[in-house]
């Protein structure tokens, strides 16, 4: 990820001196569920802007007098008798007092015991103005402290349901760099309000966590160590604060027993579990979670990941059960699966992130039983590896490759049973890996995936390798991958032909069907030789090796049983080479003739050329001639190898015929 991606220049800059209170989905739902009665005069659909102008001392005094007047008039009255204008006067006067630096005086008025009942009813109106003042960059320390004291006092005595609505509004409406600042400011008051609630507590906690996570997901995840130290958007600080925010609720779940008769505990656990699963996806699936070193003195995101694992365990979740969840799910019938429950409660991406934490970063690995075989660990991780390497983001894709590599390193070469290939993911993941090898634009990831691809092949027993080669050769349409598989096949045949390493899969009758599929042209004589050059060259090299290595009287590979199928490969190849060479040589003649006619460089650059089915970018005629000549060199190499094979076959067949004649002559004398 580059610096531009991290800085996210598209973020709007928002001035909080003009904060508007607008009704959005979450706040509206919460108001309805908690049955909070919002006064008619200050319903959340209206817009109240805080005054920003500086005023005289006389005007400051007038604002305080208005505030004291409305408090005096409403003192002792039930909330339902408050007038619409009382709400408006109270809100505008309190906003003006805060803007004019009268927070200390306002705090004295609110702390007056005579005004307690009024503050209980109207206190939630302070949340917006207080947040606006507290978040101002240029603010006197004393004034900011007074604002926070007002917020604490309001939280302490006001109606928690109404306060919850006010706090939600501020968190939801924050944008850009103010998202983290608002969350850090309001997390502790929000926690206190939730702890005081008795009705709909689990629901409110869940909605709070969903709102917080929704806002945090708008922040970019620091990628480098330097970005993490700077923490420009405050995501790292927020993650640290959120772990403290949810701790009392996790403790509440862990200290009560799980039972059907305790629905509150189960509901609260479900809400906390949803947040943990979301956090495993963002930011942890994107974040760099390297262990601490001399260069990395602090990694708050790694600490956050460790806390999430701790909370999962504290709530009674079993790591082995979580990890095997997708494997067990795949064995269920459609009738046994509840898609809504499975997809929401345990998302695959979240479990993939957890698998990475456990088996790569070893976060929480001490709580994972060390009784499972390496093959079984690879098996249930395949679902998560597939989910990760199917992503296009570098940070997520690299996690998938790292998890795959760590699973393979625990398995000895040639010890993974072929029976594992009966599992769907065991075969589909290498096909996904091929896509990374061939399509990923990041070079080091392509090279890394190729290395893992070879490690994966090496782990299987001979039968497993044989079946894997057949599958990969059929499913992959990339000539380079097919050529790589053929090279691996050649290595296995060479190993099988050595004394003491005999096996039935890479010698004798079992090998013949695989050789037939490999030693062939996809489209006969009309095959595009350049596009398939990697496969064709690998096939020719394999055939040349077999002709040299396997003597016709031993015939260990079955090559000499019937030479017709070799001829069915070489003959159309010869035709294809002649056709391709003639075509490219004609193209070269045309280019040279055109080059003599054209006088200007501008005319030269208007030429286009298609090679191997792909249109090349505009080039000069000289460059095009160079490409065409390179293609002809490729045909020369193919032709030379083919000629050598035919020469070797002819020599061996001639030698064999001579031996037969000698034997026949000897039998006559007998």
pLDDT confidence band for 182 (50 / 70 / 90): very high
The single residue listed with the structure tokens 């005023």 is 55
The predicted model gives 415-433 an average pLDDT of 91
The DSSP H or E segment spanning 610 is: strand 609-611
For residues 490 and 445, the answer to whether their CB atoms sit within 8 Å is no
The better pLDDT of the pair 83, 38 is held by 83
Confidence at residue 303, expressed as pLDDT on a 0 to 100 scale: 93
The better pLDDT of the pair 285, 30 is held by 285
Q: What interhelical angle do 462-475 and 479-496 show, nearest 10? A: 160
Average pLDDT over the chain, rounded to an integer: 81
Task: Find which of 44-53, 475-484, 588-597 is predicted with most confidence, using mean pLDDT.
Answer: 475-484
Of 222-226, 317-321, 414-418, 541-545, which gets the smallest average pLDDT? 222-226
Q: What residues contact residue 541 under an 8 Å CB cut-off, 6+ apart?
A: 487, 490, 641
Tallying the residues shown for the chain, one arrives at 670
The predicted model gives 344-366 an average pLDDT of 92
The better pLDDT of the pair 26, 249 is held by 249
Q: What interhelical angle do 25-34 and 160-173 show, nearest 10? A: 170
The single residue listed with the structure tokens 């008025």 is 109
CA-to-CA distance for 222 and 200, rounded, in angstroms?
36
CA-to-CA distance for 246 and 311, rounded, in angstroms?
9
**Closest-CA residue to 234 (of 247, 244, 220):** 220
Report the SS3 class of residue 338: coil
Confidence at residue 134, expressed as pLDDT on a 0 to 100 scale: 81
The DSSP H or E segment spanning 611 is: strand 609-611
pLDDT digits (tens, 9 = 90+) for 231-283: 899 999 999 999 999 999 999 999 876 655 577 888 999 999 999 999 999 99
The predicted model gives 466-491 an average pLDDT of 93
Confidence at residue 193, expressed as pLDDT on a 0 to 100 scale: 92
pLDDT digits (tens, 9 = 90+) for 362-385: 999 999 998 999 999 999 999 999
Q: What are phi and psi of 445, to 5 degrees?
A: -75, -35
Q: Give CA torsion, residues 251, 256, 258, 260, to 10 deg.
A: -130
pLDDT digits (tens, 9 = 90+) for 640-658: 999 999 999 888 887 766 6
pLDDT confidence band for 53 (50 / 70 / 90): very low
Query: Does the global pTM surpass 0.85?
Result: no
Confidence at residue 637, expressed as pLDDT on a 0 to 100 scale: 94
pLDDT digits (tens, 9 = 90+) for 124-149: 777 888 888 888 766 667 777 888 88
For residues 318 and 351, the answer to whether their CB atoms sit within 8 Å is no
Confidence at residue 499, expressed as pLDDT on a 0 to 100 scale: 86
**Closest-CA residue to 43 (of 28, 30, 25, 63):** 28
Cα–Cα distances in angstroms (integers) from residue 354 to residues 277, 320, 360, 389, 556, in the given order: 9, 11, 10, 15, 49
The predicted model gives 500-526 an average pLDDT of 89
**Closest-CA residue to 144 (of 131, 134, 157):** 134
The predicted model gives 521-535 an average pLDDT of 91
Confidence at residue 43, expressed as pLDDT on a 0 to 100 scale: 38
Longest dimension (CA), the chain: 139
CA-to-CA distance for 263 and 248, rounded, in angstroms?
18
CA-to-CA distance for 157 and 515, rounded, in angstroms?
83
pLDDT confidence band for 335 (50 / 70 / 90): very low
pLDDT confidence band for 606 (50 / 70 / 90): low
The single residue listed with the structure tokens 């489209």 is 523
The better pLDDT of the pair 450, 343 is held by 450
The predicted model gives 217-234 an average pLDDT of 89
**Terminal alpha carbon distance of the chain:** 84
For residues 387 and 356, the answer to whether their CB atoms sit within 8 Å is no
Asked if the model's pLDDT at residue 61 lies above 70, the reply is: no
pLDDT digits (tens, 9 = 90+) for 153-170: 888 888 888 888 889 889
pLDDT confidence band for 13 (50 / 70 / 90): very low
pLDDT confidence band for 598 (50 / 70 / 90): low
Cα–Cα distances in angstroms (integers) from residue 272 to residues 250, 282, 303, 647, in the given order: 7, 15, 18, 74
pLDDT confidence band for 88 (50 / 70 / 90): confident
**Closest-CA residue to 306 (of 272, 271, 280):** 280
Q: Give the 3-state DSSP-derived string for 168-223, with helices as H, strands as E and coil as C.
A: HHHHHHCCCCHHHHHHHHHHHHHHHHHHHCCCCHHHHHHHHHHHHHHHHCCCCCCC
Asked if the model's pLDDT at residue 402 lies above 70, the reply is: yes
Confidence at residue 307, expressed as pLDDT on a 0 to 100 scale: 96
Handedness of CA 413, 417, 422, 423 (dihedral sign): negative
Of 334-343, 496-505, 533-542, which gets the smallest average pLDDT? 334-343
The predicted model gives 2-31 an average pLDDT of 40
For residues 463 and 419, the answer to whether their CB atoms sit within 8 Å is no
The predicted model gives 172-198 an average pLDDT of 92
Q: What percent of the chain has pLDDT over 90?
A: 46
The predicted model gives 598-617 an average pLDDT of 56
pLDDT digits (tens, 9 = 90+) for 97-128: 777 777 777 788 778 777 777 777 777 777 88
Q: Give CA torsion, residues 266, 272, 273, 277, to 10 deg.
A: 170
The predicted model gives 218-239 an average pLDDT of 90
- Write the burial class of residue 123 (CB in 10 Å: 0-12 exposed, 13-18 middle, 19+ buried): buried
CA-to-CA distance for 276 and 249, rounded, in angstroms?
13
């Amino acid at each position: 990820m580059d610096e531009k991606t991290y800085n996210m220049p598209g973020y709007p800059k928002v001035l909080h001196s003009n904060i508007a209170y607008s009704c959005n989905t979450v706040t509206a739902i919460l108001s309805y569920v908690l049955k909070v009665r919002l006064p008619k005069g200050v319903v959340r659909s209206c817009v109240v802007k805080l005054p920003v102008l500086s005023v005289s001392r006389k005007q400051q005094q007038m604002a305080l007098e208005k505030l004291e007047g409305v408090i005096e008039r409403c003192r002792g009255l039930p909330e339902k008798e408050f007038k619409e204008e009382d709400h408006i006067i109270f809100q505008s006067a309190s906003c003006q007092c805060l803007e004019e630096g009268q927070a200390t005086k306002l705090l004295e008025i609110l702390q007056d015991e005579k005004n307690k009942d009024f503050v209980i009813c109207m206190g939630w109106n302070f949340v917006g103005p207080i947040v606006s003042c507290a978040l101002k960059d240029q603010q006197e320390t004393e004034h900011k402290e007074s604002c926070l004291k007002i917020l604490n006092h309001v939280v302490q005595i006001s109606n928690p349901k109404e306060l919850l609505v006010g706090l939600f509004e501020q968190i939801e409406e924050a944008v850009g760099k103010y998202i983290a600042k608002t969350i850090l400011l309001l997390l502790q008051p929000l926690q206190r309000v939730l702890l005081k609630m008795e009705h709909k507590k689990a629901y409110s906690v869940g909605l709070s966590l969903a709102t917080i996570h929704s806002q945090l997901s708008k922040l970019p995840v620091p990628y480098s160590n330097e970005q993490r130290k700077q923490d420009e958007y405050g995501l790292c600080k927020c993650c640290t604060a959120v772990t403290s925010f949810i701790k009392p609720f996790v403790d509440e779940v862990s200290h009560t027993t799980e039972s059907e008769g305790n629905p509150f505990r189960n509901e609260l656990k479900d809400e906390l579990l949803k947040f943990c699963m979301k956090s495993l996806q963002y930011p942890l699936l994107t974040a760099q979670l390297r262990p601490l070193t001399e260069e990395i003195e602090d990694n708050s995101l790694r600490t956050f990941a460790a806390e999430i694992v701790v909370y999962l365990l504290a709530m009674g979740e079993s790591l082995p059960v979580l990890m095997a969840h997708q494997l067990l799910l795949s064995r269920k019938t459609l009738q046994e699966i509840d898609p809504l429950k499975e997809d929401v409660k345990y998302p695959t991406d979240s479990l993939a992130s957890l698998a990475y934490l456990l088996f790569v970063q070893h976060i929480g690995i001490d709580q994972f039983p060390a009784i499972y075989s390496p093959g079984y660990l690879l098996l249930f991780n395949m679902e998560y590896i597939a989910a990760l390497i199917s992503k296009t983001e570098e940070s997520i894709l690299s996690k998938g490759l790292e998890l795959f590599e760590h699973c393979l390193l625990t398995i000895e070469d040639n010890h993974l049973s072929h029976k594992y290939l009966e599992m769907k993911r065991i075969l589909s993941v290498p096909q996904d890996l091929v896509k990374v090898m061939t399509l990923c634009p990041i070079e080091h990831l392509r090279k890394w995936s190729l290395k893992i691809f070879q490690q994966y092949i090496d782990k299987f027993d001979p039968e497993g390798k044989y079946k894997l080669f057949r599958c990969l050769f059929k499913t992959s349409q990339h000539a380079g991958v097919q050529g790589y598989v053929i090279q691996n096949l050649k290595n296995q045949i060479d190993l099988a032909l050595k004394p003491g390493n005999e096996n039935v899969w890479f010698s004798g009758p079992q090998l013949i069907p695989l050789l037939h599929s490999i030693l062939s042209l996809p489209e006969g004589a009309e095959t595009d030789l350049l596009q398939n050059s990697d496969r064709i060259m690998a096939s020719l090299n394999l055939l040349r090796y077999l002709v040299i290595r396997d003597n016709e009287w031993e015939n260990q590979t079955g090559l000499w049983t019937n030479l017709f199928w070799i001829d069915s490969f070489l003959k159309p190849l010869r035709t294809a080479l002649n056709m391709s060479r003639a075509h490219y040589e004609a193209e070269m003649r045309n280019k040279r003739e055109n080059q003599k006619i054209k006088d200007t460089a501008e005319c030269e650059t208007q030429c286009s050329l298609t090679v191997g089915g792909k249109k090349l970018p505009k080039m000069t005629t000289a460059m095009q001639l160079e490409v065409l000549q390179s293609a002809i060199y490729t045909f020369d190499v193919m032709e030379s190898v083919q000629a050598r094979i035919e020469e070797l076959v002819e020599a061996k067949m001639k030698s064999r015929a001579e031996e037969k004649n000698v034997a026949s002559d000897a039998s006559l004398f007998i």
